[in-house]
Homo-oligomer: A and B are copies of this chain.
Amino acid sequence: MPTIDDRLHELGITLPNAPAPGGSYVPVVLASGMAYVAGQIPAVDGEIRFTGTVGRDVNEDTAREAAKTCALNILAALRAALDGDLDRVRRCVKLGVFVQCVEDFDRQPEVANSASDVMLAVFGEAGRHARFAVGANALPRNVTVEIDAVFEIV
């Protein structure tokens, strides 16, 4: 049976290095069979790739790229917390998606979809999750998207 790492390879996805937290917290907490992943920003190897407000500084396509990058960081953080073994994921339970946008931008779901689609592609049925997607007037370091997550693990 193919592993999640096989699946990542098949999808052509190389996970970034596990992100260092940007404050007094940890990237992942394992508790009672769940993994709580801290809010991830669209940085790669410590360098922020997507900043700006959707509808003013950046467009929806760029925001979707930002959301995908957040999703890859979630997986990278999770893999590190699971000692490299993403096959311990039983279910992607929930994503919390914050999109930095102007007041009249209303397509947060379309932005969030590109993060959700990563979970579906990587985990299949086990990647089907609940989610909220909302706007925010401001995010840390002016990033375009921030996403946190909860996974059920074995």
A112 within 8 A of B: yes
In the bound complex, residues from chain B placing their C-beta under 8 Å from that of A142 are 104, 106
Residues 40-99 of A contacting B (Cβ, < 8 Å): 53, 90-91, 93-96, 98-99
Give CA–CA (A107, B34) in the complex, Å: 29
The size of the chain A interface, using a CB distance under 8 A, is: 60
Complex contact B32–A32 (CB within 8 A): yes
Contact (Cβ within 8 A) A101 B138: yes
User: Using an 8 Å CB-CB cutoff, how does the interface string of A1-45 with B read, 1 for contact, 0 for none?
Assistant: 000000000000000000000111111110111101111000000
| Contact A146–B128 (Cβ < 8 Å) | no
> How many copies of this chain does the complex contain?
3
A36 touches B140 (CB 8 A): no
User: A133: which of B23, B117, B120, B132 is its contact (CB, 8 Å)?
Assistant: B23
- Of B22, B26, B96, which one neighbours A129 at CB under 8 angstroms? B26
Are B31 and A113 interface neighbours, CB within 8 A? no
Asked if residues A137 and B135 are in contact (CB atoms below 8 Å), the reply is yes
Q: Give the chain B neighbours of A130 by CB distance below 8 A.
A: 25-29, 36-38, 148
Measured CB to CB, the closest approach of chain B to A28, in angstroms, equals 6
Chain B neighbourhood of A99, CB < 8 A? 138
A101, A106, A131, A133 — which one has the most chain B CB atoms within 10 A of its CB? Answer: A131
Give the nearest-CB partner of A36 in chain B: B130
